[in-house]
């Protein structure tokens, strides 16, 4: 499992590194594409002769413009300068659109390819046609046209000095050039767009939310990854979170805000030289400028038609404000945008990561210890019960105990078989001031041992134990028979152990048959009277083995019951005190282990092992040290204290990281789920609220109570 996690972590890190590399590689190209949205991917390099011609043109243009209007903000050509990106020449075929503004500048014509403003040498206006093949390069401010319909700047720069002033009248045959009309359009001001207007064009934050979500998953994988990759994974995750949060929360810089031209003129419903678009909303022009409006403004545009009106537009002719009421700024101010997509991504990623934490990482111990450490845990060392009783203990405290106690005995669960025999669990220790319990003793065990001893002695005699003469013993051994030389002793010891009539039925029947008696009572009477004294019983090997098995079975049943009763007695410690537990199952007492598993011993050997362990473990020296993970009190007043080994520094940081990540995920899930529902609900009626707001502005009979601003 650890190998798979390591491979996944390395693959994830490689993917992130590759993404950062490609971002840096294509960063310059993306910036250029953003500044020139109409360019094609294909391009060529600027030749040395062309570069010399461009530099000559720019020098003359900048020198003339500075001398003419040195402080004019409306003359972007005065700031033209080549950059490192100017070596790329982009060929395109587009219609060239221009419009003029009423101002004090000598050249008030502005040229556009699509919605991007470009600088066109003024002496090329006569070559403009419906579809123009041009070549452009990037400069410090505006893209520069170096070739138009076969006319290159290289050919014209030495034949004709450039002049930025255009006074000639453009022929009517060039349909793509917009003529000056009699309509007066006044440039009132040039301003930067407001933050509210900028928010309408900003991304919805899903990309940043995805970055934060990937960082949360990376932090989760760091909890189950090898130690050598954890710092790198955390570093990358923190960078991703910082980048995502910065882009989500920051205000755009001043340089990122677009220019807004504040114009004054008379809007009319016509569309000179404009491509047909959807609806009549695209057929409104201000002088020679075709205006583009937000679709929900259509019912309110007729109020300003034919009247002198203030209109604020972007360079792409998109209207952001018109008249007294229509304003994108006011819309966002009173009815904020409800971008709920980022909240949906963050809530979903937080939920997925929480499920992964619950599935693959144990959370109980990290949460307990982290909360205890935040509250201030203490270290305690005690050697007697009275001192521990006087100390207020809390989960997360570090506790060290030395003393003498009794190992815990698991409660009897009704399993009376020898296979379930397990006398002591030394990962739990009873610690109190009561006198230790006495070791277990039993007369029944002594009787069972006596019966087994006499049966074993007679069935497996040694040479010195037999009471027969050697010749008779040798003859019996040669015949393969087995002699019971004290049969009455077996009968009497069986009666002492199995005193009840229902005890040892099979063993009693076997002895009755061997003694040729009518029943067990008569056989016992004869044995007690001495009538069986000196009576020898001769057995075949099969019968002898059967008698031995019956004796062992009868004795084992009594021994097993005595073991169960003895362990139940030992497992009833005095009330009060403490039960110290290792929640990892580690033994708190160092004691010698049995040579063989207890369930492989017979019943009598298990009893002997129980007595030996009792002498060792009813008052055994123990040492327990660790962090308290649980405290409880049972019905007898015994305080149960669970200890966990003190974590090392790496484990400690994993615990803290797990708790902090879980807390952050729960907070993120709750907040983003709430914001998702709130924003989704408000987004459903935002447009309707804006329309009611405009209705109340353009129709005074509607009261402001019908408008519901958002917050």
Residue 655 has pLDDT above 70, yes or no: yes
- Mention every residue, 6+ apart, whose C-beta is less than 8 A from residue 649: none
Q: What percent of the chain has pLDDT over 90?
A: 5
Residue 256 has pLDDT above 50, yes or no: yes
For 457-487, what is each residue's pLDDT tens digit? 888 876 555 555 565 666 666 666 777 778 8
CA distance 549 to 554: 9
Q: Where are the domains of the chain?
A: 36-180, 377-437+573-646, 443-569
CA distances from 679 to 275, 335, 340 (A): 37, 11, 6
Q: Which residue has the higher pLDDT, 244 or 711?
A: 244
* Least trusted range by pLDDT, from 273-277, 282-286, 571-575: 273-277
CATH classification (class only), 377-437+573-646:
mainly beta
**How many other C-beta atoms can be found within 10 angstroms of the C-beta atom of residue 231?**
10
For 36-57, what is each residue's pLDDT tens digit? 555 555 778 888 888 888 888 8
Closest CA to 326 of 299, 366, 348, 352: 299
Residue 134 phi, psi (nearest 5): -125, 160
CA distances from 364 to 52, 167, 658 (A): 74, 83, 10
CA distance 55 to 77: 13
Q: b/e per residue, 520-548, with b = 16+ CB within 10 A? A: beebbebbeeeebeeeebebeeebbeebb
Three-state DSSP class for residue 113: strand
Work out the pLDDT band at 115, boundaries 50, 70, 90.
low
Closest CA to 618 of 402, 441, 412, 405: 405
Please list the residues that pair with 431 across neighbouring strands: 578
Q: Provide the token pair at 418.
A: 């020898």
Helix (H) or strand (E) holding 148: strand 144-148
The alpha carbon of residue 524 and the mean position of all alpha carbons in its chain are separated, in whole angstroms, by 79
Confidence (pLDDT) at 497: 86
Spatial contact of 434 and 466, defined as CB atoms under 8 Å apart: no
Round to the nearest angstrom and report the end-to-end CA distance of the chain. Answer: 50
CA distance 309 to 291: 13
Dihedral sign, Cα of residue 658, residue 659, residue 660, residue 666: positive
Q: b/e per residue, 267-295, with b = 16+ CB within 10 A? A: beeebbbbeeeeeebbbbbbbbbbbbbee
Q: Which residue has the tokens 């987004």?
A: 683
Confidence (pLDDT) at 620: 84
Confidence (pLDDT) at 195: 85
Helix (H) or strand (E) holding 353: helix 341-360
CA distance 403 to 50: 96
For 372-417, what is each residue's pLDDT tens digit? 666 666 778 888 888 888 888 877 788 888 888 888 877 655 544 4
The overall average pLDDT reported for the chain is 76
Residue 705 has pLDDT above 50, yes or no: no
Residue ranges of alpha helices (H) inside 187-253 are: 195-199, 206-223, 230-249
């Amino acid at each position: 499992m650890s190998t798979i996690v390591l491979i996944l972590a390395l693959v994830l890190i490689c993917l992130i590194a590759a993404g950062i590399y490609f971002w840096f590689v294509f960063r310059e190209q993306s910036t250029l594409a953003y500044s020139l949205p109409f360019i094609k991917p294909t391009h060529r390099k600027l030749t040395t002769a062309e570069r010399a011609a461009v530099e000559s043109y720019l020098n003359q243009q900048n020198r003339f413009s500075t001398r003419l209007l040195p402080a004019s903000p409306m003359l972007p050509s005065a700031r033209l300068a080549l950059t490192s990106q100017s070596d790329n020449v982009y060929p395109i075929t587009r219609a060239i659109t221009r419009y003029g503004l009423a101002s004090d500048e000598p050249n008030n014509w502005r040229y556009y390819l699509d919605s991007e403003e470009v600088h066109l040498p003024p002496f090329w206006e006569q070559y403009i046609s419906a579809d123009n093949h041009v070549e452009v390069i990037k400069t410090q401010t505006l893209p520069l046209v170096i070739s138009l319909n076969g006319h290159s700047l290289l050919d014209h720069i030495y034949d004709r000095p450039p002049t930025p002033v255009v006074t000639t009248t453009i022929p009517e045959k060039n349909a793509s050039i917009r003529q000056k009309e009699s309509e007066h359009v006044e440039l009132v001001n040039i301003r930067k767009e407001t933050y509210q207007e900028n928010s309408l064009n900003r991304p919805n934050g899903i990309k940043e939310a995805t970055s934060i979500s990937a960082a949360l998953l990376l932090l989760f994988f760091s909890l189950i990854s090898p130690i050598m990759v954890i710092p790198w994974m955390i570093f990358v995750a923190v960078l991703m979170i910082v980048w995502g949060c910065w882009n989500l929360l920051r205000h755009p810089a001043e340089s990122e805000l677009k220019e807004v031209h504040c114009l004054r003129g008379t809007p009319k419903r016509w569309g000179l030289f404009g491509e047909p678009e959807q609806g009549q909303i695209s057929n409104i022009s201000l002088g020679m400028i075709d205006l583009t409006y937000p679709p929900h403004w259509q019912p309110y545009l007729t109020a300003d038609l034919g009247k002198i009106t203030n209109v604020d537009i972007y360079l792409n002719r998109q209207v952001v404000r018109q008249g007294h009421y229509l304003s994108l700024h006011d819309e966002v101010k009173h009815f904020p945008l409800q971008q709920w997509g980022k909240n949906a991504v963050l809530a979903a990623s937080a939920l997925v990561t929480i499920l992964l934490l619950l599935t693959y990482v144990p959370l109980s111990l990290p949460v307990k210890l982290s909360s205890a450490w935040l509250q201030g845990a203490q270290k305690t060392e005690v050697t007697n019960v009275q001192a521990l009783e006087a100390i207020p203990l809390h989960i997360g405290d570090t506790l060290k105990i030395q003393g003498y106690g009794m190992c815990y005995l698991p409660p009897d669960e009704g399993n009376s078989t020898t296979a379930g025999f397990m006398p002591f669990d030394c990962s739990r220790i009873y610690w109190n001031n009561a006198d230790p319990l006495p070791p277990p003793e039993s007369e029944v065990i002594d009787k069972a041992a006596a019966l087994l001893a006499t049966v074993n002695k007679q069935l497996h005699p040694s040479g010195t134990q037999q009471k027969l003469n050697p010749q008779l013993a040798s003859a019996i051994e040669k015949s393969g028979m087995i002699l019971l030389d004290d049969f009455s002793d077996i009968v009497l010891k069986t009666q002492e152990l199995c005193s009840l009539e229902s005890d040892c039925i099979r063993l009693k029947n076997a002895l009755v048959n061997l003694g040729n008696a009518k029943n067990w009572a008569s056989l016992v009477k004869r044995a007690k009277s001495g009538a069986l004294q000196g009576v020898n019983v001769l057995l075949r090997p099969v019968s002898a083995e059967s008698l031995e098995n019956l004796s062992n079975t009868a004795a084992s049943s009594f021994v097993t019951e005595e073991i169960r009763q003895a362990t139940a007695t030992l497992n009833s410690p005095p009330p009060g005190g403490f039960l110290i537990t290792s929640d990892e199952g580690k033994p708190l007492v160092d004691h010698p282990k049995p040579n063989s598993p207890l369930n492989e011993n017979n019943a009598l050997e298990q009893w002997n092992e129980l007595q030996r362990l009792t002498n060792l473990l009813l008052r055994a020296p123990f040492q327990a040290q660790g962090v308290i993970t649980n405290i409880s009190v049972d019905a007898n007043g015994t305080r149960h204290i669970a200890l966990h080994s003190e974590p090392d520094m790496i484990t400690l940081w994993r615990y803290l990281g797990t708790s902090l990540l879980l807390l952050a995920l729960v907070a993120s899930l709750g907040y983003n789920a709430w914001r998702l529902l709130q924003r989704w609900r408000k987004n459903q009626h935002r447009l309707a609220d804006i329309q009611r707001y405009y209705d109340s502005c353009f129709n005074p009979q509607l009261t402001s109570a019908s408008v519901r601003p958002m917050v």
